[in-house]
Amino acid sequence: MKTLIVFFIFATLMLVYGKSIYAQDAAKVAPDKVKVLFENEKVKVLDFKLKPGEETGMHSHPNYLVYFFTDGKMQITLPDGESSESDVKAGDVRWSDAVTHNNLNTGKTESHAIVIELKNPE
C-alpha cells in the first residue's frame, strides 16, 4: 500500500512538473550551436547554426517566431519520443507555441535560423 501511494505521488508530480524537467534554455544546452544575440525583459533573440548531422539537445522555447536563412531539413523530436520531419526554405517565417524539443539537422547543408522568443505573452 505504501509503495502504491509513493508511486501515485511520483506519477502526479511527473504530470504536473514533468515538462519543467526538460525545460532548458537552448543557448545553455548547445552553446556551440546557439548564441544569444539580444535579450531584454520582452524578447530573446537566438542565432541557431546546425551542421548536417548535428543536434541541439532537448531544450525549450516559450512562444516564438523563427526566420530561416537557409533551405534545410530538420527532424524535431519531443520529450515523449514523437518525431517529425520539417522541410524549410530560406526566407520562411514560422510561429510556434511554447515547446520542448530536440532539433537534428537531417539535411545536406548547414541550417541557419534566427529565433525570437517572446517572454511576456499577453
Q: pLDDT (tens digit, 9 = 90+) per residue, 44-58?
A: 999 999 999 999 999
User: pLDDT grade, residue 10 (50/70/90)?
Assistant: very low
Residue the block writes with cell 510556434: 96
Q: How far is CA 117 from CA 8, 17, 86, 101, in A?
A: 35, 22, 20, 15
H or E stretch covering 100: strand 99-105
- CATH no. for 2-118: 2.60.120.10
> If you write DSSP's letter for every residue of 39-70 in order, what string do you get?
E-SSEEEEEEEE-TT-B--SEEESSEEEEESS
Q: What is the pLDDT of residue 120?
A: 78
pTM, whole model, 2 decimals?
0.78
Q: For residue range 18-30, what is the model confidence (pLDDT) as tens digits? A: 444 446 999 999 9
Q: For residue range 58-103, what is the model confidence (pLDDT) as tens digits? A: 999 999 999 999 999 999 999 999 999 999 999 999 999 999 999 9
> Which grid coordinates are listed for 43?
524578447
More confident residue, 121 or 92: 92
Residue the block writes with cell 501511494: 5
